[in-house]
């Protein structure tokens, strides 16, 4: 499956993409709406040729017609926000139901709690974990497997970022500074005794948030932060994504990929980097693999291979569900992280104040990278250790997972069997070993 594009940086538009103006988004909406009659006809045709009472449904011709109709419908529809689909988990050998509740909400994010309805008390307390999901085009459900892996042994919370086209203009703007503020507010709400995990893109704002909290001697700093495949210093082992941002510069992105949300979306006239353009960039990165995947879907449907067809549907239901990003957040992130390299250079600011990771002393640090990561290259996340120079050596860990790419850093069988146990052990160690360093007198 083509999974290398997930996560990482806010998605960059592919080489050669056309300049985008406000009417382009309107034209996209009109084109999508114009296909509704065709989709209705193909749905009806598919039902007709799948009806067992139709003698053609048992022939290769009939199966090919039905398969072609499904492929057409799936490649032209708009995919909505996926469901979590996490109804229960196993805690200490007992199947335990889960209630997903929003416990904090602002215009651009909700904080979700995966509340496990335990039927008996735990023998010992389990780590409380805030997972900061990427705000890079896909919904937080991209981390369904990440959440599922931690649920049996952790109390899990996750950021659920909003689609910018659904946020009215009256709610104001949202940029990288606001992102950092949101993370700090969530940690305050959760009240301490927390561990934070940043998956890919959020690594930079999470380091910034923890650095700001440490500089202010905030009592609600997390016990530990784990950064997974994050673009902390993209000058190290730069990838194609990193090079594109560096070569183009922020002016090019402002001129070519920013547009306004059209009517009738609630966020009408908000400046955004639109989801459909992000999707174009995603697919262009591995166009041949996506074409092969849909050809294989057609063949599997004709053969009647339901298992393979379901795997395709599950993957692309998530992959093709994208959301708009606010223009100010997208441009500030590209400029700060990928063009100016402000954090590793010691030049990043938050609300006008310098972000200084060397102030971090009470928070244990773990970084995780994938050996074959083609989005955040090897060494980019590890660079955090040099920045957080005041953390004692016994409270820091770096781990490289062999044989996985970017997606494998936070999902898949090796993530569950090899990465999650290491993170869990690290959290336990961070909670039990209290730092003895005090702040230096100012």
* pLDDT per residue as tens, the chain (442 positions): 333 345 544 455 444 444 444 577 888 888 888 888 898 999 999 999 988 898 988 899 999 999 999 899 888 888 889 999 999 999 988 999 999 999 999 999 999 999 999 888 887 789 999 999 999 888 999 999 999 999 999 999 999 999 999 999 999 999 999 999 999 999 999 998 999 999 999 999 999 999 999 999 999 999 999 999 999 999 998 877 777 777 777 888 888 889 999 888 999 999 999 988 888 777 776 778 888 888 888 888 888 888 888 888 888 888 888 999 999 999 999 999 999 999 999 999 999 999 999 999 999 999 999 999 888 889 999 999 999 999 999 999 999 999 999 989 999 999 999 999 999 999 999 888 665 443 333 3
Identify the burial level of 414 via C-beta atoms within 10 angstroms of its C-beta, where 0-12 means exposed, 13-18 middle and 19 or more buried. middle
Length of the chain: 442
**β-bridge pairing 224-228 and 364-370:** parallel
Give the domain ranges of the chain.
Answer: 1-34+80-434
Q: What are phi and psi of 286, to 5 degrees?
A: -140, 55
Q: Specify which residues 382 forms β-bridges with.
A: none
Q: How far is CA 175 from CA 34, 187, 251, 259, 272, in A?
A: 34, 19, 17, 16, 11
Structure tokens at 162: 């909003």
Q: Going by C-beta distance under 8 Å and a sequence separation of 6 or more, which residues neighbour residue 353?
A: 212, 215
Class for the domain spanning 1-34+80-434: alpha beta
Question: Sign (positive/negative) of CA torsion 212, 214, 215, 216?
Answer: positive
Instruction: Give the per-residue pLDDT at 22.
Output: 56
What separation, in Å, do the N-terminal and C-terminal C-alpha atoms of the chain show?
54
Q: How far is CA 318 from CA 62, 141, 256, in A?
A: 29, 8, 26
Instruction: Give the per-residue pLDDT at 4.
Output: 38
Q: Specify which residues 397 forms β-bridges with.
A: 366
Closest by Cα among 30, 34, 134, 141 to 82: 141
Instruction: Give the per-residue pLDDT at 435.
Output: 52
> Could you identify the residue written with the tokens 């995780």?
368
Instruction: Give the per-residue pLDDT at 350.
Output: 97
Q: Specify which residues 339 forms β-bridges with.
A: none
Instruction: Give the per-residue pLDDT at 315.
Output: 84
Instruction: Give the per-residue pLDDT at 256.
Output: 82
Crossing angle for the helix pair 287-303 and 60-76, to the nearest 10 degrees:
140
Instruction: Give the per-residue pLDDT at 293.
Output: 85
């Amino acid at each position: 499956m083509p999974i290398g594009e997930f996560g990482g940086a806010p998605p960059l538009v592919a080489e050669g993409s056309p300049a985008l103006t406000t009417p382009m988004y309107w034209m996209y909406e009109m084109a999508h709406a114009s296909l509704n009659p065709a989709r209705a006809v193909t749905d009806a045709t598919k039902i007709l040729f799948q009806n067992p009472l139709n003698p053609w449904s048992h022939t290769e011709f009939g199966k090919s017609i039905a398969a072609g109709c499904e492929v057409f419908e799936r490649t032209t529809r708009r995919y909505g926000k996926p469901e979590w689909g996490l109804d229960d988990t196993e805690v200490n050998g007992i199947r335990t139901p889960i209630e997903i509740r929003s416990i904090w909400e602002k215009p651009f994010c909700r904080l979700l709690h995966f509340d496990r309805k335990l039927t008996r008390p735990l023998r010992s307390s389990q780590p409380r974990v805030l997972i900061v999901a990427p705000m890079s085009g896909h919904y937080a459900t991209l981390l369904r497997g990440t959440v599922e892996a931690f649920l049996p042994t952790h109390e899990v919370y996750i950021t659920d970022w909003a689609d910018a086209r659904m946020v009215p203009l009256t709610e104001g703007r949202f940029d990288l500074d606001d992102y950092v503020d949101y993370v700090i507010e969530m940690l305050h709400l959760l009240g301490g005794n927390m561990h934070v995990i940043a998956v890919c893109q959020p690594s930079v704002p999470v380091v910034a948030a923890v650095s700001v909290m440490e500089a202010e001697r905030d009592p609600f700093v997390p016990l530990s932060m784990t950064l997974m495949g994050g673009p902390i210093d993209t000058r190290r082992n730069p990838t194609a994504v990193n090079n594109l941002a560096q070569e183009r510069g922020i002016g090019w992105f402002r001129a070519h990929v920013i547009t306004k949300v059209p009517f009738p979306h609630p966020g009408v006239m908000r400046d955004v980097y639109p989801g459909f353009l992000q999707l174009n960039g995603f697919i262009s990165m591995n166009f041949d693999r996506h074409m092969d995947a849909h050809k294989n879907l057609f063949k599997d449907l004709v053969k009647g291979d339901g298992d393979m067809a379901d795997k395709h549907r599950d993957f692309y239901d998530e992959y093709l569900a994208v959301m708009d990003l606010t223009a100010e957040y997208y441009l500030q992130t590209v400029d700060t992280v990928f063009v100016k390299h402000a954090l590793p250079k010691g030049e990043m600011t938050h609300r006008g104040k310098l972000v200084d990771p060397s102030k971090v002393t009470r928070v244990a640090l773990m970084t995780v990278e994938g050996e074959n990561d083609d989005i955040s290259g090897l060494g980019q996340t590890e660079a955090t250790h040099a920045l957080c120079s005041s953390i004692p050596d016994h409270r820091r860990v770096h781990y490289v997972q062999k044989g996985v790419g970017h997606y494998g850093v936070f999902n898949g069988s090796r993530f569950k069997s090899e990465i999650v146990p290491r993170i869990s052990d690290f959290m336990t160690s961070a909670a039990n070993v209290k730092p003895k360093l005090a702040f230096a007198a100012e």
